[in-house]
Amino acid sequence: MKRKLILEDGHYFRGNAFGSEREKSGEIVFNTGMTGYQEIMSDPSYCGQIITFTYPLIGNYGVNRTDFESLSPALHGVVVKSKSPYPSHWKSEESFDQLLRRFDIPGIEGIDTRRLTRLIRAKGTVRAAIVSDDANVEDVMHQLQSELPFTTQVANVSTDSAYHVPGGAGPKIALVDYGAKQHILRELLKRGCDVHVVPYNATVEEIMALQPDGVMLSNGPGDPRDVPEAVETVRVLLDQTVIFGICLGHQLLCMACGGEATKMKFGHRGSNHPVRHLPTGEVAMTAQNHGYAISAESLAQTPLSITHLAVNDGTVEGVAHKHAPAFSVQYHPEAAPGPMDANDLFDQFLARAREPQKEMK
């Protein structure tokens, strides 16, 4: 069965349908990872988006029950050059196509993903829709142009209520869930942390009532400016506890200190992004997934020091607070999928959490 992928600027592609039969729209983005499609698709940070995989063959090793980053993928569609009909791996339990059908996610294959990626790079991320083959291109284009921005992604993917995950006798960590990947939780648990996961809109009082040794601000989808209440919460927490922010958590920490977030042309999404640590000059390969960044100029008058920069485009990839025990990175030290070069950041965070803290304001 044929179907179309239509972009809001009028470009369209015809391909073969797979996954769910439903029609769905969303912001179309591309990911350059060669492996890890299951983790990518189940990353809550893709809420509301249609993912284009630049690697030409997807699905060759199937899907298993252990590599999910969330229980229910929140993406709106998948675009591939070719999907493997016969996955082969000892852990495989279902196919790529079966996964999409199970979670009601539409897919399209057989299109020129190289051309599509070049369009996104040239024009920036735009809205798109996966629709039936008989859909009128002009009608869908106008519909996409009239759709309101999606602003509730964080609320959609965050936990509804707080829960406790005991891990050991290590530091007690409050993990603020803006759309946290499961691998962040796994990294804390394997280090013996006692983890309390709280919703994105948990108050300072609710978080500090847990008496945490540190607070981790998770990754999450969308524009950080859509969750102003989270910015205010982080601003107050800075005076009360140790903080480590990842991706959206990094942006919220920067905004709490006076930084400004800006939308990137097409973002960073993949498993091979080089980042330079400014104090040492060392370069780490990192996994990334974000469409917004913090303006370096906006940090000049804040109490934050820039610690990391992207090698490819010079965007801010990490900061440290000059006075409070707080730091953050734009990339994903938990990887999943991706390189583990930056995994020691969890150890740095927990080392700070174990230290007796000076009396906060």
Catalytic positions are 247, 332, 334
Residue given tokens 């974000």 in the structure block: 290
Among 179, 271, 194, smallest CA distance to 226 is for: 179
> 85 vs 18, 98, 200, 265, 289, CA distance in Å?
11, 10, 39, 34, 27
Q: Is 110 assigned to a binding site?
A: no
Q: Is 10 assigned to a binding site?
A: no
- Helix (H) / strand (E) element for 176: namely strand 172-177
Q: Is 46 assigned to a binding site?
A: no
Q: Is 61 assigned to a binding site?
A: no
The overall longest dimension of the chain from CA atoms, in Å, is 66
CA 356 to CA 303: how far, in whole Å?
22
Q: Is 20 assigned to a binding site?
A: no
Q: How many CB atoms are located within 10 Å of the residue 80 CB? A: 26
Q: Is 318 assigned to a binding site?
A: no
Q: Is 107 assigned to a binding site?
A: no
Q: Is 251 assigned to a binding site?
A: yes
Beta-carbon contacts of residue 303 (< 8 Å; ≥ 6 apart): 257, 321, 322, 323, 324
What phi and psi values does residue 161 have, to the nearest 5 degrees? -145, 160
- Helix (H) / strand (E) element for 248: namely helix 248-256
User: What residues are designated binding site for L-glutamine?
Assistant: 45, 220, 222, 248, 251, 289, 291-292
User: What residues are designated binding site?
Assistant: 45, 220, 222, 248, 251, 289, 291-292
